[in-house]
Amino acid sequence: MKFSWKAYVRSDAFSSFMSSLMAIVVGLFIGFLVLLVSNPSQAVRGFGAILFGGLTDMKNLGQVFYFATPIIMTGLSFGFANKTGLFNIGAAGQFIVGAYAAVYVGVKWTSLPGHTHWMVALMAALLAGALWGLVPGILKAYFNVNEVIACIMMNYIGMYAVNYMVVKTVFDSLRNQSLRVAATAVIPKAGLDKLFITGNSPSSVNAGIFIAILAGIVIYVVLDKTRFGYELKACGYNRDAARYAGINEKRSIVLSMAIAGALAGLGGALLYLAGAGKSIEVVDVLAIEGFNGIPVALLGLSHPLGILLSGIFVAYLTVGGFNMQLYNFVPQVIEIIIAVIIYFSAFALLLKGFIQAYLKKKDRPLEEAKALAADAGSTEKGGGVE
Amino acid sequence: ACGSPAPAPAPSEEPAGETEAAAEGISDDGTFELALITDIGTIDDKSFNQGSWEGLRDYAVDNGISHKYYQPSEKSTDAYLSAIELAVRGGAKVIVTPGFLFEEPIFIAQDQYPDTHFILIDGVPHNEDYTEFRTEPNVVGVLYAEEQAGFLAGYAAVKDGSRSLGFMGGMAVPAVVRFGYGFVQGAEYAAEELGLAAGDVTINYHYTGGFDATPEVQTLAASWYQSGVDTIFACGGAVGNSVMAAAEQAGAKVVGVDIDQSGESETVITSAMKGLGASVYSTLEAFYAGSFPGGETIVMDASNDGVALPMATSRFESFSQADYDAIFEMLVNDSDGIASSMLKDNDVDSAGAIPTEIVTVTLVN
Amino acid sequence: MNTIYFLVQQTMFFSIPLLIVALGGMFSERSGVVNIALEGIMIVGAFSGILFINTFQAALPGQPILLLAILIAALSGMLISLTHAYASVNMKANQVISGTAINMFAPAFAIYVARMLRTVQQIPFMNQFRIASVPVLGQIPVVGDLFFTNTYLTTYLGFIILVLSWFVLYNTRFGLRLRSCGEHPQAADSVGINVVRIRYAGVLISGALAGIGGLVFVIPTSTNFNATVSGYGFLALAVLIFGQWKPSRILVAAFFFGLMKTIAAAYSGIPFLATLGVPNDVYKMIPYLTTLVVLAFTSKTSQAPKAAGVPYDKGSR
Amino acid sequence: MAYIIEMCNITKEFPGIVANDDITLQLKKGEIHALLGENGAGKSTLMSVLFGLYQPEKGIIKKNGEVVRIENPNDSNRLGIGMVHQHFKLVHNFTVLENIILGAETVAGGRLQTKAAADSVQKLSERYGLKVDIHARIADISVGMQQRVEILKMLYRQNEILIFDEPTAVLTPQEIDELMKIMKELVSEGKTILFITHKLNEIKKVADRCSVLRKGKYIGTVTVADTSMEEMSEMMVGRKVNLMIEKNPAKTGDVIARVQELSIRNRLTHKMVVNNVSFEVRAGEIVCLAGIEGNGQSELVYAITGLLQPDAGTIEMNGEDITHLPIRKRNEKGMSHIPEDRHKHGLVLDFNLGFNLVLQRYFREPFQQSGFLQYDKIYEYADELIGKFDIRSGRGSRTDARSMSGGNQQKAIVAREIDRNPDFLIAVQPTRGLDVGAIEYIHRKLVEERDQGKAILLVSLELDEVMNLSDRILVIYEGEIVASLDPKTVTVQELGLYMAGSKRGELA
Ligand SMILES: Nc1ncnc2c1ncn2[C@@H]1O[C@H](COP(=O)(O)OP(=O)(O)OP(=O)(O)O)[C@@H](O)[C@H]1O
Ligand SMILES: Nc1ncnc2c1ncn2[C@@H]1O[C@H](COP(=O)(O)OP(=O)(O)OP(=O)(O)O)[C@@H](O)[C@H]1O
Ligand SMILES: [Mg+2]
Ligand SMILES: [Mg+2]
């Protein structure tokens, strides 16, 4: 099929995209108002930092990808589960157990050959995350336990378990955090540090961003193009019908949660093996990356490719917000902006309606002609498109 | 945020920045000459970020110099370096970095920004795996003898009549550990002086694992008070707020940390202070006088007024200024090797391993 | 015995806010609007209440200022939940999205405003609210020690809210209508009930209660507020589900959680638990593990309001 | 004669469709006025306008000659208009009483007053013979009783104009008779009734006049006594409809399906819902399982199709024991199932039509290759089925199933199940709520399948359907098969008695 711009503009995907875009514009506008209220003289410069901070130099651009990596993963985790009808609010727990597994392998299994060490660590994270997702999945499928509450519980259990295990196995008591992983466990830079560098300070970006993008593409293909994805979505949309169709819906739920967990767990590994000098702290605080995935997924309309974009966008704002400090603004402005964007993205349905109504109005004469022609042919004009 | 720093004299209610925007005078070209980078905490952490910031701010205000603080985007070496870079871009000549977490970033930054000066509080620059320690002429490290501050607090509490004590540290980071060890040894020293019998003094010893006020900490403190503990040394930023909440319920006592916390609650009988702001202030003075002590590590202890108890605001029953002066003198003079033989963070594995005869230490984990 | 008194008194500090907030969530969800924003609303409520106390504590005596602060917390909670109601009811938005937005917004907002007004983000307050012993009642043996010493007005407020919630839900016209909107809004609409108005009411009540809950949570356990309620909003959500959206069971669930949390935090001060040598982190996990196990056995017949989370659309069939 | 209600030139649009197009409807006081029309003709919409659930774009409503504004059900209630909705509007976990008083509560001192309400509901229920247990929860009572609750709701509000939207679709013949009696009684008391049904014989039985809608337009109003059923159905559809099914005698072959001593216990109440049931279905016959809703037929079908595990007994297909086989295996072995609830089991409403048409085949080649879906093959196949079975929808195979009309949704399911060329087809209420045109179509398809030698188990509550379609009738009552009847010899009345449990037969 040939790509038709006109058809695309009329398509559902386009209205979805436009509605997200409108939410972003509104969010940014309100952010600007907040800046204006708090410090009028610097507002324009501060806003400039938000809009262009991520583009000022190569390092900042690299930082965008670095920050995007973990939130893309937790975003995918949430979005994937969401597409299959599950609400995975347990990414925080899955993320941190994944991080722990990766760090454990990274610190302890130093006898592994250099080029496989980090991969094994990633696998370990994947499995640990999957395990953490599996539990709510099993509880949901076989015991009808609401996954929201099970996930919340697993978040805390994961956090305490990791605190305990870090102290037991990989503790740097001088800093009250996990030990640094061996150099071989650090994800390769893949030349990105040469590209995204300003002066002599390179960005922290690494091959992790490729893994995240790959994960997004894989999830997209699985959900959209495979028989397995068909089953998962069928279960998500209508569990009873899936069962009726002979799909093992319990298995689907369990697998779906496990995959969501694996994605978040992998995200934990990508952050803590990034070689940016980050270690697992022994604190009783849930991993914030787990929750940050939710807005990323929602902004991306839970679509894997949308999540890639929205993850990068949110990271872009984060970098901008960091730079905004130069103009005397508190970085929390960024969080306020993102919250407002998310809030308005909840109106997507309505905005979409407006957009489509507008497009339709433009098309009216055309449509009416078509309808006339169609009426002549068929007796019943069924199947509303809206 | 964490259990170290700040001599701030006034137990002010609104500690940190007064009016940031106003005080942070931007110089005409929109740059900031003096910068501070917070670690994960904020400048109102009632701890080393706050103490250091107050020192920097006071100096800047006194001398009309533009100044500002930056928050890194996350807790990692790279993020700290990015924050340093941002500060440099913002025109910083001197950057204050409070906290041992900056040891590695400063180790790197001292070479990257040879024209910028760094004051590293609570640490010495070294590389990732502790194999290389090096302090360039554009860096000065400042360490504190927290064990002496803790010693003073423990000593005073027992002398004042406390027999059942508690130590509640935030995270088990070196500064906090030193405070705790000193606290135990101070209590032991006082008990010996008083001629108490073995077991007469007990200390519950615990790290909460964070620097935040949480209901869990409040509950734990309440349970200790409930079980007979009369004084808890709350050694870790906002942890103290929860301990104070519990003490108010139980009518018990709290020992504050880092800065004079007597204003926060009636239950605070004294605070184990370390002179963070003062050292930042004086180092900045030295910098502008052209005598930046680059390449050195300064140790702040009793002998240079780096640690103290705020006697003017303390609420002791019997422990007097004279008592305090006497013991402080001993630390300054290192009488009987009292200061030099004190066990520090690396000397024993845990507080339970400190050889005490009278004080019984119960580790809670 | 003292240990028991202590445990009961201490449990209140965990359970009462959980109870109040979960009851708030109940009103929202039973009207048909899922409220995942409880955490954020708690923060807003606590923030405004504490800010109020911080501002006026020198001028007014303890209990009146507490009552006023509760009022302020309730109002601000309602105000923020208004955005949730607008999105979920008028705009027929995805309720999880708007809730998430509020959860994100609240702490950022609290920090931002605190810095604007006070230059620092933590807001300290003097705790002049503790009641060492309630006159007369505190003297009663056992019961007095259990419930009327070392307490706060807010504890009784929690129980008052519980009784009121139960009464309103099951014995009033509003309660009947509220429940019908959460189960079958079309049915409610068809008998002339204004679903929009009822859902607004449900969400606003949840906002008020979550706001109060936030304040009640902070007061006994700290002397300052730092833009966080440590995930208790999410725990309240768990309590709500655990309590099957019913006041009596929510009470049980809130106290179960509270007791578990208390034991986990306080075991080192409780003689027989302290000697067991179980690691601290294990104790901390216990409430969550127990919850999972209990849920596994009790969830077969979940009673979630049928229409909760589904925007009401007059036209839809 | 003056009209009590006049709806004048009502136009109501939904996005993409004019549901009511300039419709005028006039009701005389004290009459039973039938409203007839195909699925989607706009009957429910028109009634919803009258009841205040929808606002029309054009048109006015008059009561007793005066223009009234009806903006919500409160207005209609004030005007004495009540409605029994096509899909009952009852709160499932409320009691009967709570449902009746909802929206019309009496309150004293802030407290709900239920006592007085209970008394007056009790009185109403006795007076009209509408037997209900007012303290039972809706979820626990039968559909018939739920309908009585709906009627009581109107009576409790003292409505004088009563709208019944397809009240008989879910009732047994006896219940229908009872309802008709009640309707007549109500009218005799001076109330006015608007009665929607697809069943012409019912109109014949009770209605005075009948208005017909077609595709949103008003066709006309006739006096029922002067009009034949054929004339009415022609008005409605616009063509002649064959109300009788023509079929040849069955040529039965081997036993395809055999159920032996099957028992099922309810998981919650532990009551036996299916009790020691045995029967067989042969190739080339339609066996009908007749019974009043809730007598175990759903559970029986669930057990046969694998949605539920029986507690005892065996199920065989083509001589093989399939009692414990998973659903997919049963499908693969040649079982097809047109489910009772098309929205719950039959369709994934958020999938498009194409995806729904391969619901049991997506994993087979050519729809899938090495794990990847072959979209072109799926749509190709779907388009073929859409053509073959005349499934109408806006965008063909890409139409969201959710946006399709109920009739076409049902056609899609029938198409899917039949096209799998099963040995054994289980059809549960395949024509529920459909108009005569669609019913005719589905009946023809089922007979065709039978004639091709398929074994068909038909579960139906509609007596006409049972009588017309089946070659053999099994009557199920309280979980037991109480009779095996020959449709050629049994009368409808007799069948009704078996179904109601007042008669038991010999088991063939
Ligand atoms: N809420 C709605 N939104 C969009 N279209 C609607 C809505 N309600 C009804 N319609 C459409 O309006 C038309 C008339 O529907 P209506 O329900 O009134 O038909 P009906 O005559 O009652 O049919 P049936 O016999 O199946 O009950 C149909 O095409 C229907 O799809
Ligand atoms: N919510 C809706 N929005 C838009 N169009 C709708 C909607 N519901 C139905 N339609 C359209 O209206 C037409 C008829 O649908 P409807 O469900 O009323 O048919 P029906 O035969 O009356 O079904 P049923 O027998 O289940 O009531 C369909 O073509 C469908 O596309
Ligand atoms: Mg219809
Ligand atoms: Mg209808």
Distance separating the N- and C-terminal Cα atoms of chain B: 21
User: Which residues of chain A are within 8 Å of residue B75 when distances are taken between CB atoms?
Assistant: 278, 281
Q: Are D42 and D20 a contacting pair, CB within 8 Å?
A: yes
Task: Judge contact between B57 and B17, C-beta under 8 A.
Answer: yes
Q: What is the DSSP letter of D346?
A: I
Quick one: pLDDT band at residue D187, thresholds 50, 70, 90?
very high
Q: Does D111 touch chain C (CB under 8 A)?
A: yes
The predicted pLDDT at position D468 comes to: 87
Q: Is the bond preceding A365 in cis, omega lying within 30 degrees of 0?
A: no
Strand pairing category for D111-112 and D455-460: unpaired
Q: What angle do CA A209, A214, A215 make, to 5 degrees?
A: 95
Predicted confidence at residue C301, as pLDDT, reads 74
Q: What is the pLDDT of residues D261-276, one digit of tens each?
A: 999 998 777 788 999 9
- 3-state DSSP percent of chain D in helix, strand and coil, to 5: 35, 30, 40
Q: What is the structure's pLDDT at C63?
A: 87
Best mutation target among C184, C189, C244, C317 (most D Cβ atoms within 10 Å) is C184
Q: C314 C-alpha to center of ligand 4: Å?
A: 16
C120 pLDDT more than 90: no
Which of B20, B212, B248 has the CB atom closest to C127's CB atom? B248
H-helix segments, chain C: 2-30, 38-56, 62-85, 95-118, 143-147, 153-171, 173-183, 185-190, 195-218, 232-242, 247-266, 271-274, 280-298
Among chain B residues, CA nearest to A323: B86
Structure tokens at A245: 């169709």
For chain A, percent of residues with pLDDT exceeding 70? 89
User: What pLDDT, on the 0 to 100 scale, is given for residue A349?
Assistant: 66
A284 to B112: CB separation less than 8 angstroms, yes or no: no
Residue with CA nearest ligand 1 atom 6: D14
Residues B350, B353, B355, B361, Cα dihedral to 10°: 70
For ligand 1, the distance from its centroid to the CA atom of residue D82, given in whole angstroms, is: 20
CB atoms D16 and A234 under 8 Å: no
HSE-up (13 A, CA, CB side) for residue C299: 23
pLDDT category of residue B121 using cuts at 50, 70 and 90: very high
SS3 B93: coil
Distance CA C212, CA D182 (A): 54
Predicted pLDDT of residue B329: 94
**pLDDT score of C252:** 94
Is pLDDT of D171 > 80? no
Paired tokens of C25: 């969530």
Task: List CB contacts of D178: < 8 A, sequence separation 6 or more.
Answer: D129
Question: Across residues C161-180, what is the average pLDDT?
Answer: 96
d(CA A96, CA A280): 8
In C, minimum Cα distance to D88 occurs at: C187
B105: which chain A residues are within 8 Å (Cβ-Cβ)?
Answer: 277
ipTM value, please give it. 0.82
Tell me how far apart the alpha carbons of residues D171 and D131 are, in angstroms, rounded to a whole number. Answer: 15
Mean pLDDT of chain B: 87
Hunting for tokens 């004469």 — which residue is that? Answer: A365
User: What residues contact A263, with CB distance under 8 A and at least 6 apart?
Assistant: A73, A74, A76, A77, A80, A129, A215, A219
Q: Which structure tokens are listed for C263?
A: 């034991």
Q: What's the start-to-end Cα distance of chain A, in Å?
A: 24
Write b or e for each residue in A125-136: b if 16 or more Cβ atoms lie within 10 A of its Cβ, otherwise e: bbbbbbbbbbbb
| Six token digits for residue D75 | 């207005």
Of the listed ranges A132-136, B336-340, C171-175, the least confidently predicted one is B336-340
**DSSP H or E segment with residue A99:** helix A91-108
Reported as a single tens digit per residue, the pLDDT across D26-85 is: 999 999 999 988 777 888 889 999 999 889 999 999 999 999 999 988 899 899 999 998
Task: Using pLDDT thresholds of 50, 70 and 90, give the confidence band for residue B154.
Answer: very high
Report which of residues D338 and C140 the model is more confident about: D338
Q: Which residues of C touch B20 (CB under 8 A)?
A: 115, 119
- The span from the CA of D198 to the CA of D272, in Å, is 35
Q: Name the more confident of C24 and B262.
A: C24
- Dist. CA D138–CA D485, nearest whole Å: 34
Mean pLDDT over each residue of chain A, to the nearest integer: 86
* Separation of CA A139 and ligand 4 centre (Å): 41
- The first and second tokens of residue A336, run together, are 């306020």
The pLDDT of residue A363: 57
Q: Is the pTM of this model over 0.90?
A: no
Q: What is the DSSP letter of D57?
A: S
Measured from the Cα of D407, ligand 2's closest atom is 21
Which protein residue's CA is at the shortest distance from atom 5 of ligand 1? D14
**CA proximity to C285, closest of A148, A154, B210, A136:** A154
Q: Which residues in C have their CB inside 8 Å of a CB on D?
A: 171-173, 175-177, 179-180, 183-184, 186-194, 301, 303, 306, 314-315, 317
Least confident of B108-117, D347-356, D394-403, D483-492: D394-403
Q: Do C193 and D112 touch (CB under 8 A)?
A: no
**Pairwise CA distance, residues A258 & A133, whole Å:** 5
pLDDT recorded at residue A7: 65
Pair of tokens at residue D132:
């209900």
Q: What confidence score (pLDDT) does residue A303 get?
A: 92
Residue A2 pLDDT more than 60? no
B360 token code pair? 């019984």
pLDDT value at residue B12 = 39
Interface of A with C (CB under 8 A): 34, 38, 87, 89, 135, 139, 143-146, 148-150, 152-154, 156-157, 160-161, 163-164, 284, 286, 291, 294-295, 298, 330, 332-333, 335-336, 338-340, 342-343, 345-350
Q: What whole-number distance in Å separates Cα of residue B106 and Cα of residue C65?
A: 48
Termini Cα distance of chain C: 60
What is the average pLDDT across A208-214? Answer: 96
Judged by DSSP in three states, A172 sits in: strand
Cβ(D404) – ligand 2 distance below 6 Å? yes
Q: Which residues of B touch A283 (CB under 8 A)?
A: 171, 209-210
Residue-level pLDDT at C315: 60
The residue among C100, C131, C103, C113 whose CA lies nearest residue C50 is C113
If one compares D433 and A109, the residue with the highest pLDDT of the two is A109
Return d(Cα C124, Cα C257) in angstroms, integer: 28
The Cα B233–Cα A3 span in angstroms is 71
- Determine which of A165-174, C117-126, D359-368 has the lowest per-residue pLDDT on average: C117-126
- Please, what is the average pLDDT of chain D? 89
CA D39 – ligand 4 centroid, Å:
7
d(CA D481, CA D290): 9
Q: How far apart are CA D46 and CA B195, in angstroms?
A: 98
**Closest ligand 2 atom to D38 CA:** 21
Question: For chain A, which chains pass the contact test of at least 3 CB pairs under 8 Å?
Answer: B, C, D
Distance from CA of B363 to the nearest CA of C (A): 10
Least confidently predicted of A55-69, A311-325, A339-353, C176-190: A339-353
pLDDT confidence tier of residue C316, bands split at 50, 70 and 90: low
Phi, psi for residue C60 in degrees, rounded to 5: -125, 155
What pLDDT is recorded for position B190? 95
* Residues B165-207 pLDDT 10s: 999 998 888 889 999 999 999 999 999 999 999 999 999 999 8
- Measured between alpha carbons, how far is C214 from C202 in angstroms, rounded to an integer? 18
| pLDDT at residue D506, rounded to an integer | 61
- On the CB side of C71, CA atoms within 13 Å amount to 6
Ligand 2, atom 25: closest residue by C-alpha: D406
